[in-house]
């Protein structure tokens, strides 16, 4: 516990609670805005290593890769990423499937795969270029008092901050959201996502694979140096069973389910697991408060789109703050925050609805439905214009999200 000293109340322009990927993204996007920004993070990120790599990885779609380039983050990442130029999806109970190729939408890649630790480090390096952003870690918020003209934030160190706006980027179990008395709509999938680094026998050729098993989807994601990351969603009982297997037994089961893709898996690293839930905050904004990332919404990881929603939240909110300052508006006012919410809700709700529909579609095990599902996947694979539009939306290239903050 830090000892409290004697501190005067400080005025800052923005307080961000949460120094993970989304909170740091907001700070990085605003680092050259001239605003005094304070990021508060309780604990530094601690990766769980699997074959020497962080077993928590993020699939960043091409639209968000362009954003990372525009705000100066990419220079710290480009030699650390795995490239995803194509994706293969198939039903474990039906032959055939769908293949998406970047060339179909005139791109060189659909997105990238990178370790969460690398993205956090890159964002931190970007922020370090600015004298206007303070990252306090380890540090905690003790209390928040919302007032008409601003918000008063008391820190464990004893510092007192006053700001026009406080942003909750502190994850799915957001402390700040709870303090604001904002409830969530939630859906417990009664599943866990098992993650690990694995080594295939042959090159993955920059192809991501996802197989829908009756117990949940199993994804192989292409990492750098021909390694792969797996995300295996399974019922709680099945996940616990898989976690309890020896390394050799787990590798045997994994290869049985992978079905020979990339010549099979020859080595699997340490496994970790996390519970799978979807939730949506009943209010994304309140006077003097905005929620971004998992504090506002979280989805099933079956398409790897969760962090992408959060990064887009950060960019849209950053642009609204800069625009408000330019026109001498109070960026903690509900008028400004409502503009942020209205821009983000269609993307958030559409993505959440799509993931829920996809999850339910592949949970049904009736023989007639399985056959119909297989025919539907084949039809989509041959539907050129529809398939192209789906890919454009999934990669974020069609979304009205600012690439750079002006």
* Contact criterion met (CB below 8 Å) for 307 and 60: yes
Query: Of all residues in the chain, what percent are helix, strand and coil, respectively (each to 5)?
Result: 40, 30, 35
% of the chain at pLDDT higher than 90:
70
Q: What is the DSSP letter of 44?
A: -
- pLDDT attached to residue 56: 92
* Mean per-residue pLDDT over the chain, rounded: 87
* Contact criterion met (CB below 8 Å) for 363 and 373: no
> Which tokens is 351 given?
């993505």
Handedness of CA 315, 317, 322, 323 (dihedral sign): positive
Burial 308-323, CB ≥16 within 10 A → b, else e: bbbbbbbbbbbbbbbb
Cross-strand bridge partners of residue 282: none
- pLDDT attached to residue 120: 97
**Structure-model confidence comparison of residues 26 and 95, the more confident one:** 26
Opening angle at CA 347, ends 341 and 350, nearest 5 = 125
207-213 vs 216-222, strand pairing mode: antiparallel
Residues 335-340, mean pLDDT to the nearest whole number = 98
If pLDDT is split at 50, 70 and 90, which confidence band does 214 have? confident
pTM summary value: 0.90
Kind and range of the H or E run holding 50 = strand 49-50
* Contact criterion met (CB below 8 Å) for 248 and 255: no
- pLDDT attached to residue 387: 44
Per-residue pLDDT of 354-394, as tens digits, reads 776 665 555 545 454 445 455 454 544 444 444 455 556 56
The 3-state DSSP class for residue 391 equals helix
- pLDDT attached to residue 352: 82
If pLDDT is split at 50, 70 and 90, which confidence band does 50 have? very high
Q: What is the DSSP letter of 349?
A: H
CATH number at residue 167: 3.50.50.60
Asked whether residue 266 is assigned to any structural domain, the reply reads no
Number of domains in the chain: 1
Q: Residue 28 to residues 58, 167, 227: CA-CA distances in angstroms?
A: 18, 14, 30
Counted residue by residue, the chain has a size of: 406
Asked whether residue 333 is assigned to any structural domain, the reply reads yes
* Contact criterion met (CB below 8 Å) for 75 and 195: no
Asked whether residue 194 is assigned to any structural domain, the reply reads no
Helices (H), 61-135: 62-70, 116-128
Opening angle at CA 55, ends 118 and 178, nearest 5 = 80
Asked whether residue 198 is assigned to any structural domain, the reply reads no
CA dihedral 381, 101, 96, 375 (to 10 degrees): -20
- Distance between CA 383 and CA 338 in Å, rounded? 38
Burial 237-260, CB ≥16 within 10 A → b, else e: ebbeebeeeeeeebbeebbebbee
**Structure-model confidence comparison of residues 396 and 373, the more confident one:** 396
Q: What is the DSSP letter of 332?
A: T
Q: Is the pLDDT of residue 245 over 80?
A: yes
Asked whether residue 157 is assigned to any structural domain, the reply reads yes
Query: Domain containing 380: what range?
Result: 9-46+58-80+115-185+278-394
Asked whether residue 322 is assigned to any structural domain, the reply reads yes
Asked whether residue 242 is assigned to any structural domain, the reply reads no
The 3-state DSSP class for residue 70 equals helix
If pLDDT is split at 50, 70 and 90, which confidence band does 89 have? confident
Asked whether residue 195 is assigned to any structural domain, the reply reads no
160-163 vs 207-213, strand pairing mode: unpaired
The 3-state DSSP class for residue 77 equals coil
């Amino acid at each position: 516990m830090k000892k409290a000293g004697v501190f005067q109340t400080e005025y800052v322009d923005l307080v961000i609670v949460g120094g993970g990927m989304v909170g740091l993204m907001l700070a990085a996007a605003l680092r050259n805005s001239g605003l005094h920004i304070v990021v508060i993070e309780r604990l530094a990120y601690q990766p769980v290593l699997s074959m020497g790599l962080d077993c928590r990885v993020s699939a960043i779609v091409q639209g968000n890769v362009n954003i990372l380039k525009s705000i100066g983050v990419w220079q710290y990442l480009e030699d650390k990423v795995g490239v995803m130029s194509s994706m293969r999806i198939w039903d474990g109970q039906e032959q055939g499937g769908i293949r998406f190729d970047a060339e179909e939408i005139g791109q060189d890649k659909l997105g990238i795969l990178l370790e969460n630790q690398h993205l956090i480090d890159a964002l931190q390096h970007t922020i370090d270029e600015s004298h206007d952003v303070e990252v306090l870690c380890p540090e905690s918020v003790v209390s928040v008092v919302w007032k008409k003209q601003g918000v008063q934030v008391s820190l464990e160190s004893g510092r007192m901050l006053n700001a026009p706006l406080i942003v909750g980027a502190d994850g799915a179990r957001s402390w700040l959201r709870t303090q604001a008395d904002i409830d969530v709509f939630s859906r417990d999938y009664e599943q866990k996502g098992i993650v690990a680094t694995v080594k295939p026998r042959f090159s993955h050729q920059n192809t991501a694979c996802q197989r829908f098993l009756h117990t949940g989807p199993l994804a192989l994601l292409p990492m750098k140096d021909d390694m792969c990351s797996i995300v295996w969603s399974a019922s709680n009982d099945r996940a616990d069973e898989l976690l309890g297997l020896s390394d050799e037994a787990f590798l045997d089961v994994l290869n049985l389910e992978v079905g020979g893709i990339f010549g099979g898996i020859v080595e699997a690293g340490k496994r970790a697991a996390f519970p799978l839930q979807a939730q949506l905050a009943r209010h994304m904004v309140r006077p003097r408060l905005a929620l971004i990332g998992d504090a506002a919404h979280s989805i099933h990881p079956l398409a790897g789109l969760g962090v992408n929603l959060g990064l887009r939240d950060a960019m849209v909110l950053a642009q609204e703050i800069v625009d408000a300052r330019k026109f001498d508006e109070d960026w903690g006012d509900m008028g400004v925050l409502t503009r942020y919410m209205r821009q983000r809700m269609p993307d958030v709700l559409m993505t959440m609805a799509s993931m829920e529909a996809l999850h339910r579609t592949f949970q049904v095990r009736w023989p007639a439905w399985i056959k119909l599902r297989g025919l539907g996947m084949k039809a989509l694979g041959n539907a050129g214009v529809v398939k192209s539009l789906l890919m454009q939306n999934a990669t974020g290239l069609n979304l009205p999200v600012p690439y750079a903050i002006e």
